Structures are given as C-alpha cells and as structure tokens.
Structure 1
C-alpha cells in the first residue's frame, strides 16, 4: 500500500509542478509580448491589457505549484553543518522533525489561504483592469496549497517509516 501511495503522491507533486511550469512559461511569453507591444506602439502594436494582473495571479499559482514537488524531493533549504555528527538515526529524527514542521506550515498556509479566498469571494472583489474576481486566483493557488498539504503529510509518514521500528 505504501508504494502505491508513494507513486501517487510523487505523480501529484510532479503534475502540479509541471502545471506551474506551463503557467510560468505562458507568463514569460505574455510579458515578452506586452513589452514588445509597448516598444512598438508607434507601429500600431499595444501591450497586453491587464498584464500585471495576469502576472500576479499566475505567479501566485506557480509558486504554490512548486512547493509540493520541492517537499517531496526534500529540496527545501537545510543546514548540514552538524549533520555528520548526528549519525544515521539522528539525521532520520531531524528529517522527521523537519517534515512535521513543514506539514504544520503547509496546513496553516492552506487554511489561511482558504479563509482569504472566502473573504475575497464574499466581497466580490475584482481586479482593476480585467475585472477578474480575485477569489479565482486564490482558488488556483489553493490547488497547489492542497497538494502541498497532501505531500507534506505523506513526507511525515515517509520519515516515520524510516525510523527504527517504522517498518522501512
């Protein structure tokens, strides 16, 4: 059962990261088109309308989309100054503590993001130029935040299994 869940969580983290990458590439293309349009206004071109709004919303999604994969592959910044002195068991314990901390952080972020989304939805707040409801950007970010929670909880399980007597 653990292997199937590991494969599913790995797939989820990669799929969300790929979606974030696709959005990031689309944002780069849009910004290039907008800058080119600004530079060539005398030739009749125009910048992309609402490019800053689209960039902000897309970046919010992309950032949250990369968090699950980073957690899954243990890619977050770590301090390895004393790692050699703790030994194998000490490092497994540190991994467990770090994964527990990250799971708590992931849950708090997702919870607060959800509350923010509900708040924006209740006030019908929109962007200035494109009049896109802001809660939709929060909902897109929630996809990544939800995956981050799932992956973080799995990483706690993975670290528990690596502990002595954990069944690893």
Structure 2
C-alpha cells in the first residue's frame, strides 16, 4: 500500500506539472494575442484573445497548486527548522518528527474536511465562472484528493513505511 501511496504522490506531481504546462501555454497564447492585437491595431485590425482565459487559469491553478503537496511531503521537501533540533538526541528528534507528521496529517485532513463543505456549497449554489459558465464545484476535486493523499503520505511516514525521514536524507 505504501508503494502505491508513494506512486500516487509522484503521479499527482507529474499531472500537476502537465496542467501547469497547459496553463503556461494558454497564458502565452493569450499574451501573444494581446501583443498581436496592439500591432494589428496600428493597421486598423484586431486579434482577439482567448475568451474565458481568466476563468480557465483561475480554476486550473486552484486545483493544481495543491497537487504538489503530497510529493513534497514524500520528499520531506517542506521547510524545517533544524538549528537547535540537530543538537538534540536522536530519540527526541524522532519524537518531534512524529509529532509534526501527526500535526501535518491532521491539518491536511482538516483542510480536506472543509473543502468538502466548499465543494457542496458551490454545487448547491450553482456557482459558475463568469465568462465560460463552467460549474466551479468539480474543480474542488483535485485539491480535495491532494489533501487526502498528503495526509496518507504523512501517516505512512509516521509508521515508517515511506522513507524520507530526516535522518535518511
């Protein structure tokens, strides 16, 4: 199961990277259209930008931003202050590490819990984007799944099933 969790975290990061590339491509296209429109304007012409560009970017980035958290946790890539902890005995370091992993898992599950309510509220309100008219609630799903996976990675690290403990680095 832990290998599956680790691969899932890797997969989320890769998918997040692909979505970021799409966001960059759409942004580049829209920016190019803006520049071309300025140039074409000198000749009495116009070049339209992408309709709903802002809607797409807003929805895509809201989900993709959280997709990197599980991978970052699996890599122990979060900020850690080790100025005085390095001087503590190994047993105490491991205890503090477990405490922070428990806290991290708890926070991730807490955020997932509230995201469920946000998703349900957006769905019941019929919230849609202003230009494209896309429903907002499905775009909660990647973030919700990411929070749950983030918690699973931290829980696996507590039990020592996923490597990446500070002493392993």
TM-score interval for Structure 1 and Structure 2 normalised by the shorter chain: 0.7 to 0.9
Correspondence for 1:24 among 20, 24, 48? 20
Listed as ranges, the matches of 1:64-143 within 5 Å are: 64-143=66-145
Superimposed CA distance per residue, residues 32-74 of structure 1 (whole angstroms, 9 cap, x where no aligned partner) = 0001011112264321211111111111111110000111111
> 2: CA distance between counterparts of 1:134 and 1:93?
41
Between the aligned partners of 1:27 and 1:127, the Cα distance in structure 2 is 17
- Residue 146 of structure 1 corresponds to which residue in structure 2? 148
Match of 2:167 in 1: none
How far residue 154 of structure 1 moved from its aligned partner, in angstroms, is 1.6
Per the normalisation by structure 2, the TM-score is: 0.86
Which of structure 1's runs of 4+ aligned residues deviate more than 4 A? none
Number of corresponding residues: 156
- Gapped runs of 5+ residues in structure 1? 162-168
Contact 1:106 1:152 in 2 (8 A): no
**TM-score, scaled to structure 1:** 0.86
Aligned to 1:48: 50
Cα drift, residue 140 of structure 1: 2.8
Aligned CA-pair RMSD: 1.7
Q: Separation in 2 of the partners of 1:150 and 1:89?
A: 24
**5+ residue gaps in structure 2?**
164-169
1:165 aligns with none
Matched, 1:14 2:16: no
